[in-house]
Each structure stands twice: as structure tokens, then as C-alpha cells.
Amino acid sequence: MKKIAAFGAIAAAATMATPASADVLNLSGEIDYQCDLTLGGQNSTSLNLNNTNQNVGNFTITCNDPDGFTVVVDSNNDGSLDNGTFSVEYKWKIDPASGEPTQVQQGFQSPDNTFVVTGFEPGYANGALHSITAKPEADTVLPGGLKLSDTVTFTIDGNA
């Protein structure tokens, strides 16, 4: 009988469970604001001053700011190709690629410009391609061999 009692005590001890334990893992995420403007097709674009409406490059805007963004375009020579002695004004227009958002500058304007996109635009969150077309306004006769230039800086910033 002692054997049976000992066996019963061992069985009872094995079935006693420790209290259950639980913990919780909370997950959350945040998407950072990102606004980038990438120029393409440039570096040393040469304009034919006797020709109008020339493609001089393109840029892609990628921005997911819920309040939109502002792009500032700044020409070092205030919209002129210049060499210190002679200058030729030019204008340009920025056109979205087919199917891209159309909230940027429309029509020929000075390269010194600011355009603002207000509100979130999904097309810009994925990257929207735009072309730049320049139109020299050479209304005077210039000597041959001139080298005229300008540097244009693009800056983008989110509106949030």
C-alpha cells in the first residue's frame, strides 16, 4: 500500500501547473515625409539661340508631404544667358509627362519662379516626371563664337 500512495503523490505533483503568463507586443509605424527633386538629362545642355522651343532636360518630383510642397527655381542670371558683355533672355515651360500631375508651372515663364502644390497628390508620392523646354528670346544680332551661360538651381521643400 505504501507503493500506491507514493505513486499517487508523484502523479498529483506532475499535474499541478504553474500560472499562465502573457505579455503584449504593441506595433506602430510612421512614414517620414520625403520630398526630393532629381534633375536628369542635363549637365551641359547647349541652346541654339536661333531655334525656339528646345528640350533642355527633365526632372522628377517625389513628395509625400500631406500639405504639398514648394519648388523654388532660381536663375543665377535672372533668366538670361550671359557672358558679362552680351546676354540673351530666355523663358521656359515645365510640362508633366503624360498621365502625371499637372499642378506645376504652365506656359513659358521666367526661370526665376516658385510653384506651390497644395495638399497630398498621390502621383507625386510615386515620382512624377516633368520636361523642361527653353525658348531663347534673341531679338538682336549677336557676334558669332559667343559663349553664354546661366546656372539654374531647383530647391524643393515640403509644406508641412
Domain that holds residue 134: 35-158
Mean pLDDT score of the chain: 80
Reported as half-sphere exposure (CB side, CA atoms, 13 A), residue 83 has a value of 8
Strand order, beta sheet including 68-75: 113-118, 68-75, 152-158
* Assigned domain for 133 exists: yes
Confidence of residue 2 (pLDDT cuts 50, 70, 90): very low
* Assigned domain for 30 exists: no
Is the predicted pLDDT of residue 12 greater than 60, yes or no?
no
* Assigned domain for 6 exists: no
The CA–CA distances, whole Å, from 112 to 81, 92, 153, 154 equal 13, 10, 9, 10
Looking up residue 108, the CATH number of its domain turns out to be: 2.60.40
- Give the global pTM: 0.71
- pLDDT per residue as tens digits for the range 67-118: 999 988 899 999 898 999 988 888 888 888 766 776 665 678 888 888 788 8
- pLDDT per residue as tens digits for the range 119-147: 888 888 888 888 888 888 877 777 888 88
C-alpha cell at 15: 499535474
* Assigned domain for 26 exists: no
* Assigned domain for 13 exists: no
How many structural domains comprise the chain? 1
Is the predicted pLDDT of residue 13 greater than 70, yes or no?
no
Q: Residue 36 has what pLDDT?
A: 92
- pLDDT per residue as tens digits for the range 24-58: 999 999 888 899 999 886 655 677 777 678 888 88
Coil vs helix vs strand at 5: helix
* Assigned domain for 54 exists: yes
* Assigned domain for 1 exists: no
